[in-house]
């Protein structure tokens, strides 16, 4: 089967006053549609940089990234923005909800960017909030929700555009163990039932075990030896 994502020899360097930092250094791997990929590694090993690069938010310094047949390295800014709108959902550790918008308004944001009418936005967002079990919390502001509920709103927002792939950067990093399990089970359901590919960064070995593919980074390089 042709991979959904082909990553070949990518590097990302930053020129700093005291020398060049290799955030990613010759990273290569393939991901199949429907994979649940966990990415682990020490702080500073390049995990966030990898997610940002694969989601088209930053460009690698060198190397190739193919998403299906689209070359993300040569793509124009406009093509990358289209790629993100169409294919990518992003979930972060701190939920990154807009504080002055209600749960449903937060979920509606990507639909507005995709040109859906406001009644379409409401219907679709409401359905996804129901899927994550928050049908009774649609009009709550983030501060009126628990941490686990806030993360579920963030997942609903990542899901509402029916993305091909969800990138999650430490989605359980700010949650206690039982809420972490709830979010991980939920990501697993999305992965299995909707066949959405997931790439998740985590510090937790238990969370990493949810992945059928495991990538370990050390100093910007893949290190899959134990």
Matching residue, tokens 């980074």: 217
Rounded to a whole number of angstroms, the minimum distance from the CB of residue 28 to ligand ATP is 17
8 Å CB contact between 51 and 215: no
C-beta closer to ligand ATP: residue 79 or 219: 219
Rounded to a whole number of angstroms, the minimum distance from the CB of residue 205 to ligand ATP is 14
Out of 38, 46, 87, 151, name the contact with ligand ATP by CB under 6 A. 46
How many residues in the shown chain lie near ligand ATP by CB under 6 A? 11
Q: CB atoms < 10 A from the CB of 78, how many?
A: 8
User: Computed over its alpha carbons, how large is the radius of gyration of the chain?
Assistant: 17
- Is position 23 an interface residue for ligand ATP (rule: CB under 6 A)? yes
Rounded to a whole number of angstroms, the minimum distance from the CB of residue 176 to Mg ion is 20
Out of 25, 38, 40, 49, name the contact with ligand ATP by CB under 6 A. 49
Question: How far, CA to CA in Å, does 221 sit from each of 25, 128, 188, 198, 224?
Answer: 5, 37, 27, 21, 10
8 Å CB contact between 111 and 121: yes
Which entry of Mg ion, ligand ATP, none binds 93, CB below 5 to 8 A by partner kind? none
Out of 4, 38, 47, 210, name the contact with ligand ATP by CB under 6 A. 47
> Distance between CA atoms of 139 and 102, rounded to whole angstroms?
5
- Is position 43 an interface residue for ligand ATP (rule: CB under 6 A)? yes
C-beta closer to ligand ATP: residue 12 or 84: 12
Q: Is 44 left (phi over 0), alpha (psi -120 to 50) or beta?
A: left
Cite the beta strand spans of the chain per DSSP E.
5-16, 19-31, 36-40, 62-67, 70-71, 88-92, 165-169, 197-201, 213-218, 221-222
Rounded to a whole number of angstroms, the minimum distance from the CB of residue 25 to ligand ATP is 10
Binding map of ligand ATP across residues 83-122, x = CB under 6 A, - = no contact: ----------------------------------------
């Amino acid at each position: 089967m042709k991979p959904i994502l082909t990553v070949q020899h990518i590097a990302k360097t930053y020129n700093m006053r005291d020398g060049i930092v290799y955030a990613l250094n010759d990273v290569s791997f393939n991901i199949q549609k429907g994979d649940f990929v966990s990415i682990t590694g020490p702080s500073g090993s390049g995990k966030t940089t990898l997610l940002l690069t694969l989601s088209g938010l930053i460009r690698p310094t060198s190397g190739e990234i193919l998403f299906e047949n689209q070359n993300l390295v040569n793509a124009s800014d406009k093509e990358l923005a289209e790629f993100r709108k169409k294919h990518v959902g992003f979930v972060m550790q701190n939920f990154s909800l807009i504080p002055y918008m209600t749960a449903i308004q937060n979920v509606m944001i990507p639909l507005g960017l995709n040109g859906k009418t406001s009644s379409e936005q409401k219907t679709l967002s409401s359905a996804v909030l129901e899927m994550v079990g928050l049908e009774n919390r649609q009009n709550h502001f983030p501060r009126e929700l628990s941490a686990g509920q806030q993360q579920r709103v963030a997942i609903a927002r990542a899901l509402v555009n029916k993305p091909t792939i969800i990138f999650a950067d430490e989605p359980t990093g700010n949650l206690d163990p039982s809420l972490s399990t709830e979010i991980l089970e939920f990501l697993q359901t999305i992965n299995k039932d909707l066949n959405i590919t997931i790439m998740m960064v985590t510090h937790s070995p238990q969370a990493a075990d949810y992945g059928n593919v495991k990538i370990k980074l050390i100093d910007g390089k893949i290190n899959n030896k134990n």
